[in-house]
Chains A and B, each alone.
Chain A
Amino acid sequence: MTATPNGFNLDSSGQRVVVDPVTRIEGHLRLEVNVDDKNVIRNAVSTGAMWRGLEVILKGRDPRDAWAFTERICGVCTGVHALTSVRSVEDSLKIQIPENANTIRNIIHLALYVQDHLVHFYHLHALDWVDVVSALKADPKATSELAQSISPWPKSSPGYFRDLQNRLKRFVESGQLGPFRNGYWGHPAYKLPPEANLMATAHYLEALDFQKEIVKIQTIFGGKNPHPNWLVGGVPCAINLNDSGGVGAINMERLNLVKSIIDQSATFIEQVYIPDLLAVASFYKDWLYGGGLASKSLLSYGEFPMIANDDSNKSLALPRGAIINGKLEEVLPVDLRNPDEIQEFVNHSWFKYGDESKGLHPWDGVTEPNFVLGPQTKGNAKKLEAVDEGAKYSWIKAPRWKGHAMEVGPLARFVVAYMSGHKEVKELVDGALKHLNVPITALFSTLGRTAARGLECAYSARLLTREYDKLIARLKTGDTATANTDLWDPAKWPASSKGVGYCEAPRGALGHWIRIEGGKIANYQAVVPTTWNGSPRDGAGNIGPYEASLLETPMADPKQPLEIIRTIHSFDPCLACSTHVLSPDNVELTKVSTR
């Protein structure tokens, strides 16, 4: 048994259980746990299993192009890296963007929050709580009564659920289960009655059809989704409400389309997502595993500047702050520029530093890949059976805030906001806790993480409406500016500069650190949400949020890892985001050495 500095006990003596690939996530993640003789998890190991080296690729390129490259770090939370990138370049070059550009960026980003959280709940996470096969046993009439008792959503007749059930029945009887093949159907950790399963399955399909509407907001302002277009200095879409040629710009028809989508989205969230979330949660109130670091160490960079070019807490709709050592009432200030605050370590990551006893601030970050398997590894690089967590074991670095492993994401944002006295967040959280009749400590769990995401989705839909109204109000004043091109020409840039772009992606705190020299990118470093949450151990032995969250969870059957994926999904992992990074110099990428 080993005690970690951040307060967990690890015991790797029991049976090793491997889950690889973890599905219903973005990218490639491997999890290994040890269970004791009662099948309770006593050790957990999280391995990021891919590396693309995007920051290496960015070196020497035009900083104005960086958004497009970094946007391709992730196509699920599409646009978040682009936003962070243009912010880092603007910070570096001291470019001030117009208020309209700031509001339009907020609208684009909020639309993603709404869509991404919705898709996460129904398509990446629901099958951890919902037994699709059990839905076949539901009584459509009782399902209709259940649906109508929790929501005015019109698609709720007995006939509607009967038709769906018949379609599902034919699908299952065909023997070709497609994405539901080999699922954990009938697993004892599923607690919903058949009627709730049928209702949730109906909404799984409705949400799949609806989510594509929400992103049209990004298409209007950015031309496409996934991967809309961005611009250093503002947004690329001009506004023309009165003059000839207005059909080639943002005009009243385009704005009306945005408004219509916002309204439909708000209705779907209020009448489908939130009632489903609360209904599902009410059956799992006693499954409060998965807290991990959630009650100890949380970090948020803050998001949605209400004032252009101002990222102080006065401007941010969701505040910046950190909580450590479980002192929830004390929200600490966070400075992304301070070299002593955010640092990355590679003691257990497949990278190499000159001196691995020290962490590096991202402006001085180094990324030299170094794939080495430790002496306790079972299997080999061609067929890995178990990694050696005493050595290097992940393509993810270990970021720390003042030495602490930190959980990031919707729950971290909401707890930081709640403890900072954010009225609207407090009202949402207290309302849900009261509805479920659970104490606030219930938040620090798998279910709490999932609930926070849903509540944040509802908050985002409201803020989206307010930001739209704000844009219209400003347009009424005659201000239609969308881009500042004063410093577009690299000839006007300083010989050398550095900047940082902050962001709260749907999955959590995201930062890009850039150095520009002679008009080109000299160094670029991204520290992303899944780097924080999926972090491996550091040199001091602190475990990361994924690893911490799995401890103490009982498994019904180690061969059917439903409990593991349920908890890990509550973080909404994004592995393509977490695993990249670069060195400031032209270091030669090392050759692999396996032993």
Chain B
Amino acid sequence: MLKAETFYDVIRRQGISRRSFNKFCSLTAASLGLAPSFGSTIAHAMETKPRIPVLWLHGLECTCCSESFIRSAHPLASDVVLSMISLDYDDTIMAASGHQAESILDEIRTTYKGRYLVAVEGNPSIGEDANYCIVGGRPFVDQLKEVAADASAIISWGSCASWGCVQAAKPNPSKAVPVHEVIRDKPIIKVPGCPPIAEVMTGVISYILTFDRLPELDRQGRPKAFYGQRIHDKCYRRPHFDAGQFVEAWDDEGARKGYCLYKLGCRGPTTYNACSTVRWNGGVSFPIQSGHGCIGCSEKDFWDNGPFYARLQQLHPFGIEANADNVGGKVAAVVGGGIAVHAGLTAIQRLTKHKDNTRIRDASQKNEGGGQ
């Protein structure tokens, strides 16, 4: 039997010393509230466990999430795919087609039962008996349910999987629904945006691999670190908003001076995302920096909150912080934070009191209440 490359092999190859690795494991143990001696247990798990399999499914979508993912500057998508995870199924890039492709889903379900992640791009349709989206000769929603059944957790990439996005805009002719409406018994991490920022996508995956759990999520199921603040809160044009300096028309003097785009419909004040801080494509720019207002693409139902060039009416021009919480999206299902996801740490979990009831248990045990 050939030896699988482990997380330890990978980070060693990337120039991280044994000493740093041990330190990392001790810190991880501490952050999980474990005694220092568990550091060596974690180290053992890291040294011996194979790369976590990821099955990346595609429903009704436009593939912008995959395209965004491969734009990641840190880490590079090639390193994520070759060294961090085992991307065993992704119809956009996989070599195999047809039967050879579909059989992989069964192989992973069986071999890694409860120990793989499902990433979903796009969403299932439940219209026309679900035949608006057919994969392998059957409705996508059936494929999704089957593959999700033995997963440890689900990542809902982008606004399609998270909220429904463009095909779910009124009147939603294909009856497209977000993933959490058909998968109700698994922890789901939503990474919305059309598409999400590349480094946020790889950041979420890296977090899961590094800390062996899902990142802290907000009440809507989004990682707090990236979706905890509005674009407006950190926008470099905010001083112009506060000073009442606005672009009044395209290509006017205000536009050339980089004034605030609020009057041309900018959704920055109501959009929770990291665009004004992380920025796009390795930090080159973001929509507002390039002269167009934010269209709010990471918010639920943003397509139906238009037209895009109509200014937000409910906002006060000043003192916007007062109603910050009122402005954001509606509260969705409550999803707790700190969800451990990697079955490699099963041993530790058994030794640990479940202080946090949102932690996933050993996937071989029945997963109940693991998130929602």
A residues at B contact (CB < 8 Å): 18-28, 30, 49-54, 56-57, 61-62, 64-65, 68-69, 72-76, 78, 119, 123-124, 127, 132, 167, 170-171, 173-184, 205, 208-209, 211-212, 215-216, 219-229, 231, 233-234, 236-240, 243-249, 257, 369, 371, 379, 381-385, 395, 480-483, 485, 488, 559-561, 565, 576, 589, 592, 594
Complex CA distance for A589 and B318, rounded to whole angstroms: 46
Q: A20-B137, A226-B67 are in contact. List 16 more A-B contacts (CB 8 A).
A: A23-B91, A25-B91, A50-B134, A52-B174, A72-B62, A75-B67, A76-B67, A179-B88, A182-B104, A220-B284, A221-B290, A222-B287, A236-B292, A240-B257, A245-B257, A576-B63
Whether the pair B256, A245 counts as a contact (CB closer than 8 A) is yes
Determine whether the beta carbon of A28 is less than 8 Å from that of B67. no
Q: In the complex the two chains form, is A220's CB within 8 Å of B285's CB?
A: yes
Docked-complex contact B95 and A179, CB < 8 angstroms: yes
Q: Is the CB of B290 within 8 A of A220?
A: yes
Instruction: Tell me the smallest distance from the CB of B162 to a CB of chain A, in Å.
Output: 14
Contact call B173/A236, Cβ cutoff below 8 A: no
CB within 8 Å for A233 and B96 given contacts A65-B307, A248-B237, A248-B257 = no
Interface size on B, residues (CB 8 A): 104
A-B CB contact pairs (8 Å), 23 listed: A21-B136, A24-B93, A68-B308, A69-B303, A174-B50, A175-B50, A176-B53, A182-B96, A184-B100, A205-B78, A219-B285, A223-B292, A224-B290, A228-B290, A238-B251, A238-B256, A249-B257, A379-B137, A482-B251, A485-B250, A488-B250, A589-B127, A592-B131
Q: Which 7 A/B pairs are nearest by Cβ-Cβ distance?
A: A248-B258, A75-B64, A245-B257, A183-B95, A53-B173, A223-B287, A223-B290
Provide the residues of chain A in CB contact with B256, threshold 8 Å. 238-240, 243, 245-246, 248-249, 480
The residue that A224 contacts in the complex, of B140, B287, B306, with Cβ under 8 A, is B287
Residue of A nearest to B308 (CB): A65
What residues of A have a CB within 8 angstroms of the CB of B284 in the complex? 216, 219-220, 257
Instruction: Let me know if B325 is at the binding interface, CB within 8 A.
Output: no
- Give the one of A23, A74, A183, A382 with max B CB within 10 A: A23
Using Cβ atoms and an 8 Å threshold, which residues of chain A touch B96? 23, 181-184
Kindly identify which residue among B64, B99, B137, B290 contacts A229, using a CB–CB cutoff of 8 Å: B290
On chain B, the residues within 8 Å of A25 by CB distance are: 91-92
Distance in Å: Cβ of A1 to nearest Cβ of chain B:
26
| Given known A-B contacts A176-B51, A223-B280, A226-B195, A231 and B257 have beta carbons under 8 A apart | no
Minimum CB distance partner of A27 in chain B: B63
| B103-138 at interface with A (beta carbon < 8 Å) | 103-104, 127-129, 131-138
Residues from chain A with Cβ under 8 Å of B165 in the complex: 72
In angstroms, how far is the closest chain B Cβ from the Cβ of A335?
30
User: A52 with B132: in contact, given A23-B92, A28-B58, A173-B3 (CB under 8 Å)?
Assistant: yes
Are A223 and B194 closer than 8 Å at their CB atoms? no
CA distance A472 to B363 in the complex (A): 60
Tell me if B151 counts as interface (CB < 8 A to partner A): no
B262 at the interface (CB under 8 A from A): no
Interchain CB contact under 8 A, A179 and B97: no
Q: Bound state CA distance, A180 and B104, in angstroms?
A: 11
Whether B82 and A178, one on each chain, are in contact in the complex, defined by CB atoms closer than 8 angstroms, is: yes
- State whether A50 and B132 are in contact (beta carbons under 8 Å apart), knowing that A225-B280, A384-B137 are contacts in the complex: yes
Known: A182-B95, A248-B257. A50 touches B306 (CB 8 A): no
The reply to whether the CB of B72 lies closer than 8 angstroms to some CB of chain A is yes
Complex: A61 Cα to B63 Cα, angstroms:
24
Give the residues from 307 to 360 in chain B that come closer than 8 angstroms, CB to CB, to chain A: 307-309
* Residue in B81, B251, B282 whose beta carbon sits within 8 Å of that of A179 in the complex: B81
B98 nearest CB across to chain A (Å): 4
A53 touches B97 (CB 8 A): no
What's the least CB distance linking B16 to chain A, in Å? 16
Q: A225-B280, A238-B251, A257-B284 are in contact. Are A179 and B93 (CB under 8 A)?
A: yes
Q: Are A127 and B281 in contact (CB-based, < 8 A)?
A: no
Q: How far is the CB of A167 from chain B (nearest CB, A)?
A: 8
Known contacts A62-B306, A236-B291, A576-B61; is A53 also within 8 Å of B100 by CB?
Answer: no
What's the Cα separation between A170 and B165 when bound, in Å? 40
Chain A nearest CB from B64 CB (Å) reads 2
A53 partner residues in chain B, CB cutoff 8 A: 167, 173-174
B70-A211 in contact (CB<8A)? yes
Known A18-B137, A245-B258, A249-B291; contact A215-B82, beta-carbon cutoff 8 A? no
**B258/A483 in contact, CB under 8 A:** no
| Cross-interface CB contact of B129 among A227, A483, A592, cutoff 8 Å | A592
The answer to whether the Cβ of B76 comes within 8 Å of any Cβ in the partner chain is yes
A267 to chain B, nearest CB (A): 19
Q: Which of B51, B66, B251 has the most CB of A within 10 A?
A: B251
CA distance A205 to B255 in the complex (A): 40
Contacts known (A28-B133, A223-B288, A245-B256); A182 close to B100, Cβ less than 8 A: yes
Is the CB–CB distance between B91 and A223 below 8 Å? no
- Cβ of A61: which chain B residues have Cβ within 8 Å of it? 306-307
The one of A68, A176, A219, A565 in contact with B97, judged by C-beta atoms closer than 8 angstroms, is A565
Contact of B104 with A174 in the complex, beta carbons under 8 Å: no
Is B4 among interface residues, defined by CB-CB distance under 8 A?
Answer: yes
The verdict on B32 contacting chain A, using a C-beta distance below 8 Å, is no
Q: Is B5 an interface residue (CB 8 A)?
A: yes
Could you tell me if A212 and B72 are in contact, using CB atoms closer than 8 angstroms? yes
Residues of B within 8 A of A69 (CB): 166, 169, 303
Q: Whole-angstrom distance from the CB of A222 to the nearest CB of chain B?
A: 6
**B71 and A225 contact, CB distance less than 8 A:** yes
- The distance in angstroms between the C-alpha atoms of A265 and B164, with both chains bound, is 36
Residue of B nearest to A249 (CB): B256
Q: Do A56 and B173 touch (CB < 8 A)?
A: yes
B142 at the interface (CB under 8 A from A): yes
CA distance A179 to B282 in the complex (A): 25
A220–B285 Cα distance when bound, in Å, is 6
Complex contacts, A381 vs chain B, CB 8 Å: 129, 131, 139
The distance in angstroms between the C-alpha atoms of A421 and B318, with both chains bound, is: 62
CA distance A261 to B57 in the complex (A): 33
Complex contacts, B176 vs chain A, CB 8 Å: 52
Contacts of B90 in A (CB 8 A): 179
Cα–Cα, bound, A370→B58 (Å): 23
Q: Is B19 an interface residue (CB 8 A)?
A: no
Decide yes or no whether B73 CB sits under 8 A from chain A: yes
Q: In the docked arrangement, what's the CA distance between A175 and B4, Å?
A: 6
Indicate whether A236 sits within 8 Å of B295 (C-beta atoms), given known contacts A57-B169, A61-B306, A223-B289.
no
| Contact status B101-A178, CB under 8 Å | no
B307–A62 contact, CB under 8 A? yes
Q: What's the Cα separation between A75 and B87 when bound, in Å? A: 21
Per the bound structure, the CA–CA distance linking A61 and B256 in Å amounts to: 29
| Nearest CB in chain B to that of A378: its residue | B137
Indicate if the CB atoms of A19 and B166 lie closer than 8 Å.
no
CB-CB nearest in chain B for A49: B134
Asked if B211 is at the interface of the complex by the 8 Å CB criterion, the answer is: no
B255 x A174 contact (CB < 8 A): no
Determine the chain B residues whose CB is within 8 A of the CB of A483 once the complex forms.
Answer: 250-251
Name the residue of chain B whose CB is nearest to the CB of A207: B78
B76: which A residues are within 8 A, CB to CB?
208-209
Bound together, the chains give a CA A565 to CA B91 distance in angstroms of: 13
Would B133 and A68 count as touching, CB distance under 8 A?
no
With the chains together, A371 CA to B275 CA distance in Å? 41
Q: Which residues of B contact A236 (CB under 8 A)?
A: 250, 290-292
Cβ of B271 within 8 Å of any chain A Cβ, yes or no, is no
Once bound together, how far apart are the Cα atoms of A175 and B3, in whole Å? Answer: 7
Task: Verify if B35 is at the interface (C-beta below 8 Å from A).
Answer: no
Among B102, B165, B280, B286, max chain A CB count under 10 A is at: B280
Q: Identify the closest chain B residue to A132 (Cβ).
A: B95
Residues of chain B within 8 A of A594, CB atoms compared: 129
